[in-house]
Structures are given as structure tokens and as C-alpha cells.
């Protein structure tokens, strides 16, 4: 167990954690505005990843193009999904709308996983780009990893700018903190919700492409990701971007370290155990919403 | 400018307003008085579009606003300072104010609107980068009023703006409101403290159980035994 | 044609179910078996969700734990009975342990947390290889046990049905229903919340665990994916919701429909089962989320009416309308005016930076009726909330009849003798007026059984003049009726101290007068001390001994009404100059 090996693990963990954080960003924005538990959110990543690798395998497109294709597609999908399947439920009683959204999102999860599996097979796949290895001492980093880290960084910064400097972004934060207050400022709540849902889904598209560049994807991994995303937003606070990033990185690194020092198979359980532990001590989550 | 005729509003299956009729002329300062639960907040909510009217008509500047969305009403020049302020606690004072200018027509004039607000409430200029949730009750009220003014409204609705505000700041806010009124803004003020309300407005309506039951100018109301009866409950 | 859902139908179902294995067709028997198991799972889930209102998405994990516990014991060559017992115990213990962290969560966070149980259990099963064999799973002795397994499953089913029926009319069931409607109020009415939650989840888990054990026996093989995988885990939830959560027949209908569909898909459609399954679930969620049995086109069919009962509609009336005596079953309390019933010593309450109650000190003597007035935001309701322990004061102390309230739970404070109304009434919406009042009677000092409580409740209902609405749902009442119910329910707590929060606003003068009479009566006849928040002075003037005025969280006046209305500070801040003249005229 050398320092170099440890650093290698840390880098991998940061990478993975950053990607988790991207998934969580989308969920955080959506949940803050729409207040709906979307069980199929993580499945979007598995679908996106499978689609991306399929497109790559067929057309050899550069990941940037893959992103340019998938983002609008996911935006449109998110918008329609919310507008036709979820929004109508809001008119119902609290009990029925809660139950309804559970059933709709669970149904979507099953459908999406199954269709993706039929489309591309249930086996894992990814985007096997050629890369160069850069060696710093005994640490090996691939250019792919650098690209991904770069992508994560860029996206995070872009999102921060978006949330602080654009009207749409500020409106998202406002609605998360006080929906009535936002309404009387003239924020149209139904369009806002649909747009946020769409936007949150399109962030996952980016995460999906980046993810499949370095890790394998399969059609059924979605739910586990959703659980991790939930864990992250509870740790970081709903609507809190920086908190989600830190929580995501923390989770990724923790999983890596668990695998390194103990056993890799336990890594997935980590997020869950963490979630339960944190919620015991802080029943309302950790961070403040921003 | 504002006309409500026999307006009824439901909250779910419960009727909150039964028969509310009132009129506010341009540049008037009118009060809306009544007990808790009488329907004052619901009336303001209906005017700005938070609640649809079950029946009756609401007209503003000649147009029917009955089922219109809040965003359209805000764009048309109505603004609300809601009960409990409803600020965005984790956003800065400046961001809170800026949200008041969210309507597309108001966005272009954000800078000027901010400058005007800081001039009206200088203390907010000092605290512009602080999170709104950290301010005192009175300062938060100033932010709420400032936010409502950012869209350059011609009709300002205020719902109990003095709750939880220290007396010194109450004075300052009233001064600010007088300045706003002098600038030509029409106001409809919901207030529980009749003394304070009647000091400020020219005339007032009294709502009871979801119906408008009394109306009159300041002196007429005070001298009216029915008024002291209904509102003060002093027999 | 007899209506569906009646006892004859239940008997018929039971006999039919019992006869299936005798037909000798393994395929049908297995199918019926899966339905039995699915029913146990869906129905036990609904005890926690439909009855108590907590949506536990990880319920299936108890099934898995039961399966593994059973398998481990059976493989170790112990008899089946012992294995089942172990399955039961293991799940019960697991549920009790999970209950502690999970029930600290509310609403969505609770759903998140329970959701997390499944992948956790799956990973544990994968990795605790010495115990669970990891991904290889456990192979059970492959005897043909379909017949015996079937009858055990049937027995568990019958037990499930019995428990479900039992819950509709025992006190525990009412605790669940109250929590579902309004947890805070349930506690303020005297229900000790946490043990109830633990009990119901352990109960539900135990049944799920038994189901897991039996199915493991029948399947002869289990592995982590089979018992904890998501594809199967949310199915019982969907089944319960499909039929109608909270309805007596809901889970069964949902199970029958979805299980049949599932089976049909398995046989007739290759590939795309999950898609079809998912689509059906999605469509139900989108168009009939209350469940099939709540859809209007179902409710309109008379012959289905037996199926669509909500749980509590099963409560039969409490016998013939008996004479109401007019005397409330309340103890007559001593009223020694020299001794304080309530003392607040420098009580403070803050929310973030906002000081709502600022070092308030006051004393209310036994048998007094004291008015508490102040503008909106002056701290009146917050003070009430401190006394009834909805909030824990951050400073100072409160004593009730000499007893400090620090650190006590809300239900403990209720048992000590505090009853309260809320400014905006908070009835248990889907319970009837009678049931609403029966709840504090069931969980108060006397701990009455449900029948007795419902019976006694009629006295309170009559006292509040709500007789006509006795068996109507509370959420169908008008605002004035709700206030009357709120008041009657507070009285049913059999309090020493009654906190009344703005009950008179919105009432006509006649109604106010009658209400004032009630308050006077409550004190004169039963010796209850009353603190009344109100701003309609004429109401207070008729009955209070004393008035305390709050402003910005502080006491600014405390004395006889006549003096208080002439007090300078009160006039300035609260009543205003306009009232001054009227007040002077009054005195």
C-alpha cells in the first residue's frame, strides 16, 4: 500500500464522486422546485450511458457531439415527462399526488430499464476511447480522466454561474426557498417546474456521457445511482450546489477508500449506511438550501 | 382602478370569501380591516391571482383579472407584500430585491429600481450582500416592501406589514410608505391595529366572515358604534 | 346478488383458497401460493402506510431477512417450525432496530431512508458470505413441500386478514389513524407516538418475514437478487396502491389484479414483461392514484360497494341512540383561588434570531378564567405552544399545578391535565366527529376502550351541539363546526387547564354568547381553569376574571379587564386611540 497507490485511488474516487455529484445536481434542483421524489432519475444516467456508448460504437462520434445530441433530447424528454405524467397529479389531494408520483416514477424506471436492455443488451458497455497515460512519478493518469475531471469542473462552475447570475437560475433558488414568495414576484410556477425538471434531466445527460467514458454502464444500475443521489442531496442540502459537490466527492472517495482498504464489494453499501447514520443524527439533512 | 364585486373564493372545499365588494380609486390609500380569519389575506391573494375567484368579478384598470395568473397581474402593475413577508432566506438582500423585478418588463430597469429602493431604505444598501434570513423583522419587512416595488407597480397590496416589527422601524416604514404614496402608487392595506391603519388610510372596508360589511372614511368609522362593536367588540 | 365484500364472500374466498391444492395442479397451486404471499406483503405494508401514513419503501427487505433467516436455520437441519420462528424473530428485531433511526424522519425523508434499506440489505447479503453464502445463495432441501407451504401461507394470510380487521376497532388502530391525520395533534391528545410506530413496523415486518420464510421453503433457493432486488421489491407497494391503500379490500384487489397480470405476462409474452408491468403501474399512478377502488366509476357500482369501505367505516354504531345526560363525564376539580394552576417563570422562545416570547412571567390561579390578548405576532399562540409542549421553551420554566413541565413529552403534558384548541382547527380529518372526540378519551388518563370511548364521546358531542354531525367526517364540517369540535375534543382530554385559542372569531354574536356560556359552565361546574386567547373584547368581557396583554413577546398589562383597557401602554400599542374613547365610555 503505497502513497502513490493511495493517490491513484483518490483520483478515481474524486472522478466517480464528481459524476455522482452531477447526477445529484439535477435531482437537487428538481426536488427543490418540484418537490417530487423521482425514482427514475438515476435510470436516466444508465439510459444515457448506454445510448452514448451505442452511438459511439456505431458512429464513432466524439464525446462532445454525444453530449450535444443527448442534452436536448433529455431536456425534451424531461419536459414532456413532467408535463404529461406528473404535473396533472398536482391537482389531486396530497395523498393521491404522493402515491401517484411514486407509481409513475417507479413505472418509468421499470420501462426505461427494460427498453434499454432490449435495445442494447443487459451487459455492461462503455465508451472505449483511446487515451494516453500520463505518468507523474508512479501515478498514472489517463487523459480521459483529465477530460472527465475537466468536464465536471466546467459543469459545476457553469451551474454556479447559472444559479447566481441568470434569471432562470435565481428563480429556481427562489422557488426552492419560498414558492409563494416566488409566485408573487411573477414566477410562473407550472412552467418553472417543467423547465426545471427538463433542465435537471439534461444535466444527467452530460454526466452519462462522461461516466461511460471511464466506467461501465448497464441498464439496471439506475436505481442504485438514484439512492446515491438522494444520499448526496440530503448530505449537502437541497438546492445547495457546493454542498452536493462536496458530498458527492466525499462519497466517491469514501467508496474508493473502502475498496482499497477493505473490500470493494462493500463500497455500494457505503452510501446507504452513511445516509442512515447522517439522518439519525440530523433528521433534516445537513446543509442549508441555497 | 380596482373593483371587486361580490367576489367569492374557495380554499379547497371550504369557502373563504362569500361576498366581498370594494373599490379603490387611483392614488387612494384604502384600508382593509377585520378579525383573524375574516378573509383579508384571501382578498389580497385573490386580487394578485394566488387564488381563483369562484364567482363575482374583479377588475383592475378596466380589465377583468378574475382568473388571471399571478405573473400576468404582476406584469400589469399589481404587487403584494405578503403576510409573513415570504422572503428567500438564503439569498442576499439584493437578490431578493432583484426577484421583485422578475417580470420581463421589469427586468430591464433592475438597476434603477434597486437604486430607488436603496434610497428609500438606506439600511438595505448597507446590508445588500447579507442573506435575507439574517435580518431583523423590521429590516426584512423593508426588503419585502422593496421587493414589491421593484416591478414599478401602480397598485400596492400590503398584508399586515407591521407584525413583528420594532416600533422605531414601524415609524420608518410608515414614512417610506407615505413617500411611495406621494409618488402616485395606489395602496390597499390590511392591518390589525385600527389606530395605525386609520392614521394612514383615507378610508377603509371592514370584512367579517368573508363579507364586506362596513365602509367609510376615517371619522365616519370611528364615530360609528357599529364599527366599534364589530371590530373592537366593545359593547 | 349479495354485495361483494360481505361475510359470505369472505367465507367463500377462504374455502376456495383452501381447496386449491386439493385440485392437484401444481401450476395453479403455485400461482395461488404467490398470490397468498403477495397479499401478506401488500397488506402488511399497508398497515404502516395506509393506516399510519408512513410510506415505507423498504418493506420488502423484511421479507428478505425472513427468507434468509428461515433458510439458514433449515439448512442447519432444524425443523421447519423452528425455522419459521427464527424468521419471525429475526425480522421483528431488525424492524425494531431500524425503527429508531428511521422514525426520526418525516415525510419524504422517511421514504428516502426506507428506500435505502434495500440496497443495504442486498449488499449485506452479498458480502456476509459465511452466513449467507454471498452471491451463490442458499439452496434449501428440495423436498416437494408445495402443499404444506401452501397451507402455512394460507394460515399466515388468514392471520393477516384477522389483524387487519382487528386494527379497525381497537385502540391501537385509532392511534395509527390519528398519527396519519396529524401526528402533532395526536401526541397533544395523549398518544405516546414512538412506541406505536415501533409496534406497527415490527408487526408488519414480522408478517413480511413469515411470508419470506414460507416462500423460501417453497422456492428452495434464494439469493440476494431474488429477495432484495428492486424489480420485485416495489411490487407489493404497487399492488397495495393499485387496489387502494387504506381500504379494507384495497390490497387484496391490487394483488389479485397485478399477480394475475404478471402470471399472464410470464406465460404469454416473451420479453418486455417489465415494460408492460411498468406501463400498467405508470398508468395507474397517472390516472387512478387513489387506487382502483377509489375511482369514481367503481364507487358508483352498488354491487361493489362492500369493497370500497374505508377502514373506519366498518365501525358499527354504538347501539341504539341512548339518552344523553347533559352532564359531561368530567371530574369536578377543586378550585383553590390562592393556588396557581399555571406558572410561567421568565419563559422565552426564539426561532432563529426572532424572539417570539421574551421572558414572560405570569400566574393563573386555579379556577380562574383569564383572557390573553395581543396583536398578531405578539406571542400568544407561541406561549400556548410552549405550555402544551409543541415547542420546548429555550428559557425559563413552566409549572402546571406545581409540577415543572421541563423535558416532558407532549402526551405526558396532556396526561398531567392540559387540553388545548388550535387557532385554526386541526381535526383528524378522515375520522368522524364521534371518533375525533373518542381519541383523547381512549388515550387519556382513563384509557377507555374504543366502544366505551365512542359512547362517552356522545356526551361531549351533545355538549358542543354537534349531534347532527355525529357520524360525519371531520373534514366535511364547516369552519364554525370545526371550532366546536375542537373545543369538545379539548374537553375530552379531561383537562385541569384548558387553553382556548381564538375560538370566537367568525362567529355571530349569538354563537359567541353561547360559547361564552360554555366556558363559564366549564369552569363553574367542573372547576377547569381556562386561559383564553381572544381579541373580541366583548366576548372576554362577559366572563374573564382577568386579562393579560402581550406585545412583541412581553407582558405589558396584567389585571382586571376594566383596568387593562384604560392602561396607557395597552391603548397605545394595541387598542389604538379610536378605542380609547369607546373604552372610556365602557368603563
Q: What is chain A's mean pLDDT, rounded?
A: 85
B70:A184 CB<8 A: yes
Give the CA distances from residue A91 to residues A77, B12, C289, C458, in Å, rounded to whole numbers and listed in that order. Answer: 22, 11, 12, 37
From the list B166, B193, B221, which residue is nearest C375 (CB)? Answer: B193
Min Cα distance C283 → chain B (Å) is 26
| CB-neighbour burial class of residue C313 (10 A; exposed 0-12, middle 13-18, buried 19+) | middle
Of B166-170, B183-187, B229-233, give the range with the top mean pLDDT: B183-187
d(CA C445, CA C411): 11
**How confident is the model at residue C163, as a pLDDT?**
93
Is the pLDDT at A288 greater than 90? The verdict is no
From the list A89, A107, A272, which residue is nearest C120 (CB)? Answer: A272
**How confident is the model at residue B82, as a pLDDT?**
94
C506:B163 CB<8 A: no
Q: What tens digit of pLDDT does each residue of A105-119 get?
A: 988 988 999 999 888
The number of helix segments (H) and strand segments (E) in chain B equals 11, 10
Min Cα distance A100 → chain C (Å) is 4
Residue B33 φ/ψ region, left for φ over 0, alpha for ψ in the -120 to 50 degree band, beta for the rest: beta
Grid cell in block for residue B84: 409573513
Question: Chain C residue closest to A31 (CA)?
Answer: C108
**How confident is the model at residue A80, as a pLDDT?**
96
Min Cα distance A198 → chain B (Å) is 21
Q: Average pLDDT across each block of 10 residues of chain C; the chain has 587 residues. List them in order.
A: 61 79 80 91 92 88 92 88 93 92 78 79 82 80 80 92 90 94 93 94 96 90 80 80 84 88 81 83 86 77 67 50 71 85 93 84 93 83 91 92 92 93 89 94 90 90 89 86 92 94 77 88 92 83 89 88 80 55 45
Using a CB-CB distance cutoff of 8 angstroms, which residues of chain C are in contact with residue A97? 289
B194:C576 CB<8 A: yes
**How confident is the model at residue C409, as a pLDDT?**
93
d(CA B179, CA C75): 86
How far apart are the two ends of chain B, measured CA to CA in Å? Answer: 36
**How confident is the model at residue C587, as a pLDDT?**
40
Using a CB-CB distance cutoff of 8 angstroms, which residues of chain C are in contact with residue A89? 285-286, 289
**How confident is the model at residue B212, as a pLDDT?**
87
Minimum mean pLDDT range among A252-256, B147-151, C296-300, C518-522: C296-300
Does A82 or C275 have the greater pLDDT score? Answer: A82
Question: What part of A 37-56 touches C (C-beta under 8 Å)?
Answer: 37
Residue whose C-alpha is closest to residue B88's, from B102, B74, B77: B102
**How confident is the model at residue B230, as a pLDDT?**
56
**How confident is the model at residue C574, as a pLDDT?**
62
Min Cα distance B89 → chain A (Å) is 7
Local confidence band at A39 (pLDDT 50, 70, 90 cut-offs): confident
Grid cell in block for residue B24: 379603490
Question: Chain C residue closest to A112 (CA)?
Answer: C275
Question: What part of B 29-48 touches C (C-beta under 8 Å)?
Answer: 35-38
Minimum mean pLDDT range among A273-287, B73-87, C189-203, C435-449: A273-287
> In this prediction, what percent of chain B has a pLDDT beyond 70?
96
**How confident is the model at residue B233, as a pLDDT?**
44
From the list B133, B196, B232, which residue is nearest C579 (CB)? Answer: B232
pTM of the model: 0.84
The mean per-residue pLDDT over the stretch A55-81 comes to: 90
A170:B107 CB<8 A: no
B198:C377 CB<8 A: no
Using a CB-CB distance cutoff of 8 angstroms, which residues of chain B are in contact with residue A187? 71, 99, 102
d(CA C211, CA C220): 14
Residue whose C-alpha is closest to residue B204's, from B19, B24, B1, B3: B24
Min Cα distance C306 → chain A (Å) is 22
ipTM of predicted assembly, 2 dp = 0.89
| CB-neighbour burial class of residue C558 (10 A; exposed 0-12, middle 13-18, buried 19+) | middle
Using a CB-CB distance cutoff of 8 angstroms, which residues of chain B are in contact with residue C577? 195
Give the CA distances from residue C425 to residues A4, C67, C237, C373, C390, in Å, rounded to whole numbers and listed in that order. Answer: 65, 47, 33, 19, 15
Question: Chain C residue closest to B159 (CA)?
Answer: C376
C282:A108 CB<8 A: yes
**How confident is the model at residue C305, as a pLDDT?**
66
Q: What tens digit of pLDDT does each residue of A184-195 get?
A: 999 988 899 999
Amino acid at each position: 500500500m503505497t502513497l502513490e497507490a493511495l493517490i491513484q485511488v483518490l483520483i478515481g474516487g474524486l472522478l466517480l464522486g464528481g459524476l455522482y455529484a452531477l447526477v445529484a445536481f439535477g435531482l437537487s434542483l428538481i426536488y427543490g422546485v418540484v418537490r417530487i421524489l423521482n425514482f427514475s432519475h438515476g435510470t436516466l444516467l444508465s439510459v444515457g450511458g448506454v445510448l452514448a456508448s451505442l452511438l459511439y460504437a456505431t458512429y464513432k462520434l466524439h464525446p462532445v457531439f454525444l453530449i450535444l445530441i443527448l442534452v436536448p433530447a433529455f431536456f425534451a424528454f424531461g419536459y414532456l415527462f413532467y408535463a404529461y405524467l406528473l404535473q396533472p397529479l398536482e391537482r389531486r389531494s396530497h395523498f393521491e399526488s404522493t402515491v401517484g408520483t411514486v407509481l409513475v416514477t417507479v413505472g418509468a424506471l421499470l420501462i426505461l430499464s427494460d427498453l434499454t436492455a432490449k435495445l442494447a443488451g443487459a451487459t455492461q458497455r462503455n465508451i472505449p476511447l483511446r487515451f494516453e497515460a500520463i505518468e507523474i512519478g508512479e501515478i498514472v493518469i489517463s487523459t480521459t480522466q483529465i477530460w472527465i475531471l475537466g468536464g465536471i469542473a466546467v459543469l459545476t462552475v457553469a451551474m454556479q454561474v447559472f444559479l447566481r447570475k441568470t434569471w432562470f437560475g435565481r428563480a429556481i433558488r427562489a422557488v426552492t426557498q419560498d414558492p409563494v414568495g416566488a409566485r408573487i414576484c411573477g414566477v410562473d410556477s407550472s412552467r418553472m417546474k417543467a423547465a426545471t425538471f427538463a433542465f435537471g434531466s439534461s444535466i444527467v445527460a452530460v454526466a452519462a456521457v462522461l461516466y461511460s467514458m471511464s466506467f461501465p454502464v448497464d441498464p439496471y444500475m439506475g436505481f442504485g445511482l438514484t439512492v446515491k443521489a438522494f444520499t448526496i442531496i440530503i448530505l449537502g442540502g437541497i438546492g445547495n450546489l457546493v454542498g452536493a459537490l462536496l458530498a458527492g466527492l466525499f462519497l466517491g472517495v469514501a467508496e474508493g477508500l473502502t475498496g482499497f482498504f477493505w473490500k470493494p464489494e462493500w463500497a455500494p453499501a457505503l452510501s446507504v449506511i452513511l445516509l442512515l447514520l447522517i439522518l439519525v443524527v440530523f433528521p433534516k439533512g445537513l446543509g442549508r438550501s441555497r | 382602478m380596482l373593483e371587486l364585486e361580490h367576489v367569492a373564493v374557495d380554499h379547497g372545499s371550504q369557502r373563504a370569501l362569500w361576498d366581498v365588494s370594494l373599490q379603490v380609486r387611483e392614488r387612494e390609500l384604502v384600508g382593509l380591516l377585520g378579525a383573524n380569519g375574516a378573509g383579508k389575506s384571501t382578498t389580497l391573494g385573490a386580487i394578485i391571482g394566488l387564488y381563483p375567484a369562484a364567482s363575482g368579478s374583479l377588475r383592475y384598470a378596466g380589465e377583468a383579472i378574475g382568473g388571471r395568473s399571478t405573473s400576468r397581474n404582476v406584469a400589469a402593475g399589481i404587487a403584494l407584500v405578503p403576510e409573513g413577508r415570504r422572503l428567500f432566506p438564503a439569498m442576499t438582500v439584493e437578490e431578493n430585491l432583484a426577484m421583485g423585478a422578475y417580470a420581463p418588463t421589469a427586468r430591464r430597469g433592475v438597476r434603477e429600481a434597486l437604486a430607488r429602493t436603496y434610497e428609500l431604505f438606506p439600511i438595505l444598501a448597507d446590508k445588500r450582500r447579507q442573506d435575507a434570513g439574517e435580518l431583523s423583522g423590521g429590516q426584512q419587512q423593508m426588503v419585502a416592501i422593496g421587493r414589491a416595488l421593484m416591478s414599478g407597480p401602480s397598485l400596492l397590496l400590503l398584508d399586515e406589514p407591521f407584525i413583528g416589527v420594532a416600533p422605531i422601524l414601524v415609524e420608518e416604514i410608515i414614512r417610506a410608505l407615505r413617500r411611495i404614496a406621494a409618488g402616485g402608487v395606489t395602496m390597499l392595506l390590511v392591518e390589525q391595529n385600527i389606530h395605525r391603519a386609520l392614521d394612514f388610510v383615507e378610508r377603509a372596508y371592514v370584512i367579517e366572515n368573508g363579507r364586506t360589511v362596513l365602509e367609510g372614511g376615517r371619522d365616519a368609522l370611528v364615530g360609528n358604534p357599529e364599527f366599534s362593536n364589530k371590530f373592537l367588540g366593545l359593547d | 346478488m349479495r354485495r361483494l365484500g360481505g361475510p359470505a364472500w369472505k367465507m367463500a374466498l377462504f374455502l376456495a383458497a383452501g381447496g386449491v391444492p386439493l385440485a392437484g395442479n401444481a401450476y395453479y397451486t403455485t400461482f395461488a401460493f404467490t398470490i397468498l404471499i403477495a397479499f401478506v406483503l401488500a397488506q402488511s405494508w399497508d398497515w404502516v402506510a395506509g393506516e399510519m401514513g408512513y410510506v415505507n419503501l423498504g418493506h420488502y427487505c423484511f421479507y428478505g431477512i425472513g427468507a434468509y433467516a428461515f433458510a439458514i436455520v433449515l439448512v442447519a437441519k432444524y425443523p421447519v417450525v423452528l425455522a419459521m420462528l427464527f424468521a419471525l424473530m429475526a425480522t421483528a428485531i431488525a424492524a425494531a432496530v431500524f425503527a429508531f433511526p428511521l422514525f426520526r424522519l418525516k415525510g419524504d425523508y422517511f421514504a428516502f431512508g426506507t428506500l435505502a434499506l434495500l440496497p443495504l440489505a442486498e449488499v449485506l447479503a452479498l458480502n456476509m458470505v459465511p452466513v449467507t453464502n454471498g452471491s451463490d445463495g442458499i439452496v434449501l432441501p428440495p423436498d416437494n413441500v408445495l402443499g404444506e407451504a401452501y397451507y402455512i401461507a394460507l394460515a399466515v394470510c388468514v392471520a393477516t386478514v384477522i389483524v387487519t380487521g382487528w386494527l379497525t376497532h381497537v385502540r391501537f388502530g385509532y392511534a395509527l389513524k390519528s398519527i396519519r391525520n396529524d401526528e402533532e395533534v395526536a401526541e397533544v391528545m395523549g398518544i405516546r407516538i414512538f412506541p406505536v410506530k415501533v409496534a406497527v413496523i415490527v408487526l408488519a415486518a414480522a408478517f413480511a418475514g413469515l411470508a419470506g420464510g414460507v416462500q423460501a421453503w417453497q422456492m428452495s433457493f434464494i439469493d440476494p437478487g431474488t429477495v432484495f432486488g428492486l424489480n420485485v421489491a416495489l411490487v407489493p407497494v404497487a399492488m397495495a396502491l393499485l387496489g387502494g391503500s387504506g381500504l379494507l379490500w384495497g390490497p387484496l384487489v391490487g394483488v389479485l389484479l397485478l399477480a394475475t397480470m404478471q402470471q399472464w405476462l410470464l406465460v404469454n409474452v416473451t420479453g418486455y414483461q417489465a415494460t408492460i408491468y411498468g406501463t400498467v403501474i405508470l398508468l395507474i399512478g397517472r390516472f387512478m392514484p387513489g387506487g382502483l377502488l377509489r375511482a369514481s366509476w367503481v364507487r358508483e357500482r352498488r354491487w361493489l360497494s362492500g369493497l370500497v369501505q374505508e377502514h373506519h367505516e366498518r365501525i358499527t354504531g354504538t347501539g341504539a341512540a341512548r339518552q344523553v345526560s347533559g352532564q359531561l363525564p368530567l371530574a369536578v376539580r377543586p378550585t383553590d383561588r390562592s393556588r396557581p394552576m399555571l406558572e410561567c417563570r421568565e419563559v422565552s422562545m426564539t426561532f432563529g434570531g426572532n424572539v417570539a416570547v421574551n421572558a414572560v412571567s405570569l400566574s393563573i390561579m386555579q379556577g380562574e378564567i383569564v383572557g390573553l390578548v395581543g396583536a398578531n405576532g405578539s406571542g400568544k399562540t407561541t406561549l400556548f405552544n410552549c405550555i402544551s409542549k409543541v415547542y420546548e421553551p429555550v428559557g425559563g420554566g413552566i409549572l402546571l399545578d406545581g409540577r415543572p413541565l421541563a423535558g416532558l413529552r407532549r402526551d405526558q403534558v396532556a396526561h398531567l391535565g392540559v387540553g388545548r384548541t388550535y387557532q385554526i382547527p386541526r381535526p383528524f380529518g378522515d375520522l368522524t366527529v364521534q371518533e375525533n372526540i373518542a381519541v383523547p378519551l381512549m388515550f387519556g388518563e382513563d384509557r377507555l376502550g374504543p366502544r366505551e370511548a365512542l359512547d362517552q364521546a356522545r356526551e361531549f358531542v351533545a355538549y358542543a351541539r354537534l349531534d347532527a354531525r355525529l357520524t360525519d367526517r371531520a373534514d366535511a364540517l364547516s369552519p364554525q363546526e370545526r371550532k366546536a369540535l375542537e373545543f369538545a375534543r379539548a374537553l375530552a382530554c379531561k383537562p385541569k387547564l384548558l387553553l382556548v385559542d381564538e375560538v370566537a372569531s367568525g362567529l355571530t354574536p349569538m354563537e359567541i354568547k353561547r360559547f361564552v356560556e360554555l366556558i363559564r359552565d366549564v369552569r363553574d361546574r367542573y372547576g377547569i381553569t381556562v386561559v383564553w386567547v381572544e381579541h373580541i373584547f366583548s366576548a372576554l368581557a362577559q366572563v374573564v376574571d382577568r386579562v393579560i396583554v402581550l406585545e412583541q413577546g412581553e407582558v405589558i398589562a396584567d389585571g382586571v379587564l376594566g383596568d387593562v383597557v384604560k392602561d396607557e401602554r395597552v391603548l397605545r400599542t394595541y387598542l389604538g386611540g379610536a378605542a380609547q374613547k369607546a373604552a372610556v365610555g365602557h368603563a
